[in-house]
């Protein structure tokens, strides 16, 4: 369930990460400019009118995410091995707001201050409306699909909230995204370990 203003005990432990420097794809478009979308090879995109306004904090089941700009440049990270530095701290979860061009399973590499690296699974269900294959939470649903030359009503697109465990009890310093261009990350939030 998505709420733009809710706070919870979990919220105070969560730190949205600035991924703006890594955005390299436009997966959201306006109905007046459907050609701008390039979520997949066919030029499909999420319909902006069904999504939150850009550059605001949104909450999905108590987890805050920094929603990207909408219809103003790149809005997601199409995964191609981006190395994302994070504030060093002990975390329990890496939360992602993501969508996939098809159901995908891959790994992210978690890098720690002591030099250790853990590979953890990243599983994202298809953005074509279907049940959550990996148990994600449906964060947002666009009730129309944009094609380069038209708006196709009745074909929804889904953005998912998924999480990756941080099992090592050490300071996390960076996250290496997979080399899998089918996975698109719109936002990333770290959940700190309870003191």
Q: Which residues of 164-179 are buried (b: 16+ CB within 10 A; e: fewer)?
A: bebebebebbebbbbe
Residue 61's domain comprises: 2-192
pLDDT of residue 40 exceeding 50: yes
- What's the number of domains the chain is made of? 1
pTM, two decimals, is: 0.91
Query: In the structure, what pLDDT confidence band is assigned to residue 5 with cuts at 50, 70 and 90?
Result: very low
Give 34's contacts (C-beta < 8 A, 6+ positions apart): 45, 146, 147, 148, 149, 150, 151
pLDDT category of residue 10 using cuts at 50, 70 and 90: low
pLDDT in tens, 84-98: 999 999 999 999 999
pLDDT at 23: 97
Give dist(CA 68, CA 173) in Å, integer: 23
Residues listed for the chain: 195
* pLDDT value of position 66: 96
The average pLDDT across 160-176 equals 96
Tabulate helix, strand, coil % of the chain (nearest 5): 5, 55, 40
Question: What pLDDT was estimated at residue 57?
Answer: 94
Contact present, 187 and 86 (Cβ < 8 Å): no
pLDDT in tens, 119-133: 999 999 988 877 777
Over the chain, what is the mean pLDDT? 90
More reliable by pLDDT, 104 or 154: 104
Q: What percent of the chain has pLDDT over 90?
A: 70
């Amino acid at each position: 369930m998505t709420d733009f203003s809710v706070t919870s005990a979990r919220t105070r432990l969560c730190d949205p990460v600035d991924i703006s420097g890594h955005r390299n794809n436009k997966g959201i478009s306006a109905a007046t400019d459907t050609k701008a979308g390039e979520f997949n090879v066919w030029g499909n995109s999420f319909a902006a009118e069904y999504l939150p306004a850009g550059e605001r904090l949104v909450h999905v089941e108590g987890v805050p995410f920094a929603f990207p700009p909408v219809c103003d440049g790149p809005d997601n990270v199409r995964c191609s091995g981006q190395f994302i530095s994070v504030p060093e701290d002990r975390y329990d979860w890496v939360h992602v707001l993501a969508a996939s061009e098809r159901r995908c399973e891959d790994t992210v590499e978690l890098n720690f201050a002591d030099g250790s690296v853990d590979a953890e699974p990243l599983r994202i269900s298809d953005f074509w409306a279907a049940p959550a294959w990996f148990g994600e939470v449906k964060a947002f649903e666009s009730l129309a699909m944009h094609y380069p030359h038209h708006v196709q009503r009745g074909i929804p697109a889904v953005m998912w909230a998924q999480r990756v465990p941080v099992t090592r009890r050490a300071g996390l310093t960076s996250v290496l995204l997979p080399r899998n261009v089918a996975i698109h990350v719109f936002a990333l939030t770290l959940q700190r370990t309870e003191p």
